[in-house]
A and B are shown apart, each in its own frame.
Chain A
């Protein structure tokens, strides 16, 4: 039961940190689920997070896997409600309010000011993630090639991730 409450506490807190995207919450998520609660290892978190990036829909659905590991199906429900309800309610009420504030001059200031901060949070998330995922020349090369192709073309990233999975299996897998 205390684990269920811990899941709710952790994921409702993380929910409020996702300014700009789920990645903004990654450094705190790592700290809480890996270092504080030991629900999974850093490598496992990286693996689940990466799978979640390719899965369709909102890119943080990997949290259901953590909920399931810790407390089965009640864990899944707890994590989903804790993670999505606070921000959904906020978006619901703020969305209505925000539109009424169209002429409020601070509105533009808030939008302008928060945009570089959210980019910064996303970059910090990238760095935190990269520390676990880029472990040598091979992984660095894969990351750079994917980055380069995505910046230069309009290919669907899912294909690149699929290709990287094959390359990973061949390059890092057990020799046949």
Chain B
């Protein structure tokens, strides 16, 4: 983890030219560290797009959407899957590892400190009250994120059936997530199975 020097970054960052030469491991580390440190409030994908497509031009919009589709079809957080895919595209395995560590580092340190503080002071009435407000807001946040994701990625009314089955299985039947994922997942994939192209379709 410490093979990337943490000191002296400020002096060298301006001399890196991504345009022509290979993208350095150091600049991958710095960019993902920056995204990992600034993407407050969820929605890391927007920050990734801003940093990787718009600012650095390491991937274009088409590639980005492609990576996002892969990220969402695989288990794993979008943020870390994207880091692995883009890191791999830029500098292979080492690039993927660097991007993964860098995007996790700031939030990880912050949550470690927050966790220790919460462990010692979490029982105080004022802290509990504040966190009650935070938790309520988090519900609004995750619901909004889910709804926005749904609006973007769903196309058919049938999708609502699969959503309903999944929610029902996990939430009402208390089936374990893997079981629901496998059963409803296979049903849905078969539903959208490749059809024989029709003569009239084109």
Chain B interface size range: 35 or more
Binds A, one of B3-11, B17-25, B133-141: B133-141
* Separation of A143 and B185 alpha carbons in the complex (Å): 30
Does B75 lie within 8 Å of A145, measured CB to CB?
no
A116–B154 touching, CB < 8 Å: yes
Kindly name the residue among B70, B72, B77, B103 whose own CB sees the greatest number of chain A CB atoms within 10 A.
B77
Residue contact A57 to B36, C-beta cutoff 8 Å: yes
Chain B residues within an 8 Å CB radius of A16? 75, 178
Contact digits for A119-154, partner B, Cβ 8 Å, 1 yes 0 no: 111111111111011110011101111111111000
CB neighbours (8 Å) of A111 from chain B are 69, 72-73
A109 touches B189 (CB 8 A): yes
Partner of A122, one of B112, B119, B149, B191: B149
Whether A113 and B137, one on each chain, are in contact in the complex, defined by CB atoms closer than 8 angstroms, is: no
Interface residues on A, range: 35 or more
User: In the bound complex, what is the Cα–Cα distance between A148 and B137 (angstroms)?
Assistant: 11
Please determine whether A60 and B193 come into contact, CB atoms closer than 8 angstroms.
no
Other A-B contacts than A57-B79, A66-B115, A121-B181, 16 sampled, CB-CB below 8 A, are: A21-B78, A65-B118, A91-B71, A109-B189, A110-B73, A113-B187, A113-B189, A114-B185, A118-B72, A120-B180, A122-B149, A125-B142, A130-B139, A146-B136, A168-B136, A172-B133
The 4 closest A-B pairs by CB, nearest first: A168-B133, A65-B115, A120-B166, A146-B140
CB<8 Å pairs between A and B, sample of 30: A15-B75, A17-B75, A18-B75, A21-B145, A25-B177, A53-B138, A54-B134, A57-B79, A58-B36, A58-B104, A61-B107, A64-B112, A68-B115, A69-B115, A84-B104, A91-B74, A112-B192, A114-B73, A116-B160, A117-B181, A120-B170, A120-B184, A124-B171, A132-B135, A139-B133, A142-B136, A146-B136, A146-B139, A161-B137, A168-B133
